[in-house]
Structure 1
Amino acid sequence: MPDLLRRHLLWTGALAPLALALPSPARAQVPPAPAALSAGSTAEQATAGLDLRGRTILVTGCNSGIGLETMRVLALRGAHVIGTARTSDKGKAACASVSGRATPVVLDLADVRSVRDCAAQVHQLAPRLDALVCNAGIVLDDWEKVDGLEKQFVVNHLGHFLLAEQLLDRVVAAQGRVIVLGSGDHRNAPAGGIQFARLSGEGWYRRGYSHSKLANGLFSLELARRLQGTGATSNCVTPGHTRTAILRNSGNNYREDARTPAQGAATPCYAAVHPAMAGVSGAYLRDFTAGEQSAQQQDAAMAARLWAVSHELVARNA
């Protein structure tokens, strides 16, 4: 079987048994960040001096917060940024607000059809993606479901899983980087980790955000394993506690030490484009270095199972 065909089938799940036979990558080694970067650095500081002309980068959730700042800074450095938002108006307004080249695309991560339509449009816009930044997310304080699944799991994880699956050919063509925004809150996921037998949220929905962030970390880990030998990479980053609009549905309860979006976007931008991160895959970053994570987020077997289940769920709604 030709290698490219084998990889394509591997990504789409048709060769899932063979995928499970791939060796687990060694624990990712994160190189030291430049001395000028530390907690509190901004996205502009994290990308200072970089020339991103000729690169194409997709950022989900471009219309506010970390996503908007990520798009702004990457476009400022010369990249063509494809920015997604849930509505056309929000995407157009966000892209028009930044200097440089930014193209809006509609993406509703709760809607499988919207995700597939977005991926199809991106295929028309870009023959390659130098980075895919899976940034968009929600926090809920009540139990909501989409097609019987807990909504935060759908939006924060499953929609991004499908988008990445649909666009992996573009990422691999560029030997690009997939950046998944996780959270230190993954440590507060329900006991046992991913609730495979109760993905509806029953009994654990109040920990739904933490559950979805654990899913983000596990997805990134398994993707890193599947990308071995392609030159493409996958890493999960936590932006830290950042004051954005994400808590609008749960009281806007931010701590006094909350970061600004400029600070929250720093590590995602660094992971997406900085030369120091070339070839690094399977890492979990906070403030430009390896972050602390739970044993569950490093569970390769759980990560592989989540991939298989996620693929079945999105295929079911094709």
Structure 2
Amino acid sequence: MVLETRRRLVQGALLAALAPRLARSHDAAPARASGPGSTAEEVTRGLDLGGRTAVVTGCNSGIGYETMRVLALRGAHVIGTARSAEKGAAACASVAGRATPVVLELSDFDSVVACAERIEAMDVPVDMLVCNAGIVLGGLEQVRGLEKQFVVNHLGHFLLVRRLLARVLAAPQGRVVVLGSGDHARAPEGGIQFGRLSGEGWADRGYSHSKLANGLFSLELAHRLAGTGATSNCVTPGHTRTDILRSVGDGYRADAQTPAQGAATPCYVATHPALARVSGTYFRDCAPAQPSALQTDRAMAARLWQVSEELVRGFLGPAA
């Protein structure tokens, strides 16, 4: 109870600090339920997303599926990515509204490039780019000599966003929403392990490490988007029962949320009219929240961007 009270006080202070920016929005936010326990449908009630395009990674299950379903329900054309054509097609066919499947294997940079090129060929602005897909592993696995969760959860999304950034900037108010986690606070000591990205010696905190990378990437992207109409924010969906823990025993707590609740904050940040000029913020329960000191380290965020760029250099394309 003390921790919950403290969290609400922190959220209140952050909301007060953001109030001037929220008030400058030209759109009135519709009345909606928000906060702990709200669902994605509740926090988007009253919105008309007709004419907008969203990209949601990991659309075939869990939070990604619910995010796609609700954005399509509100009128957006959702481009949903999945690791296989079959899973993506089945997920997109099951939602009301317009949804288009595209294959994306985040551990395979050639697949990321192909996915981005497929979306670019649609020649539409990307109003919402929701970087949702992710994995949790129980031990050390590597891709290209790098710890796999860092590759899938961070580097694959870094590359996808870089390849689609022109499409986001082409939107009237493009938004990049990166799904992080409160677990980022459990990253290895010192934060991003730049000197040993192989994962050796810290693989037991690999997921936390990748979530810290997600938050730092979102922070640096917001810095680089300053002065444009686009924004970048990081959200934690909260402890949500999906299939992401299937490799580590499905150890969910009794208070785990449903995917409908877990998708609330991503949908809220992707769509809320009053957040049009809010960027570089961390959200929990549809409200600004305070991340760890590591996730607000601007020097670490800038270095992560540089290192990530070097690691995917051959896949960025001629415009990079």
Fold in common (TM above 0.5): yes
1:98 counterpart (95, 100, 103): 95
1:173 aligns with 2:177: no
**Structure 1 Cα separation of the partners of residues 87 and 100 of structure 2:** 12
**Structure 2 Cα separation of the partners of residues 275 and 116 of structure 1:** 31
1:218 counterpart (213, 216, 219): 216
| Superposed CA offset, 1:210-234 (max 9, x none) | 0000000000000000001111000
Matches within 5 A, 1:132-211: 132-174=129-171, 175-211=173-209
Query: Structure 1 residues 187, 216: closer, same or farther in 2, change over 3 A?
Result: same
Runs of at least 5 residues in structure 1 that lack an aligned partner in the other structure: 1-27
Match of 1:48 in 2: 45
**Structure 1 Cα separation of the partners of residues 18 and 123 of structure 2:** 31
**Structure 2 Cα separation of the partners of residues 82 and 56 of structure 1:** 7
CA RMSD after TM alignment: 1.6
- 2:53/2:76 contact within 8 Å kept: yes
Q: Alignment partner of 2:60: what SS? A: coil
Matches within 5 A, 1:22-101: 29=18, 31=22, 36-101=33-98
* Offset of residue 35 of structure 1: 6.7
| Superposed CA offset, 1:49-77 (max 9, x none) | 10000000000000000000000000000
Runs of at least 5 residues in structure 2 that lack an aligned partner in the other structure: 1-16, 24-28
- What is the number of equivalent residue pairs in this alignment? 292
* Offset of residue 36 of structure 1: 2.7
**Structure 2 Cα separation of the partners of residues 83 and 126 of structure 1:** 16
Query: Structure 1 residues 126, 66: closer, same or farther in 2, change over 3 A?
Result: farther
Match of 1:304 in 2: 302
* Offset of residue 127 of structure 1: 2.2
- 1:29/1:283 contact within 8 Å kept: no
| Superposed CA offset, 1:73-93 (max 9, x none) | 000000000000000000000
- 1:56/1:126 contact within 8 Å kept: no
- 2:32/2:43 contact within 8 Å kept: no
* Offset of residue 96 of structure 1: 0.4
* Offset of residue 126 of structure 1: 3.6
Matches within 5 A, 1:229-244: 229-244=227-242
Off by >6 Å, runs of 4+ in structure 1: none
Indicate the percent of aligned positions where both proteins have the same amino acid: 71
* Offset of residue 276 of structure 1: 1.9
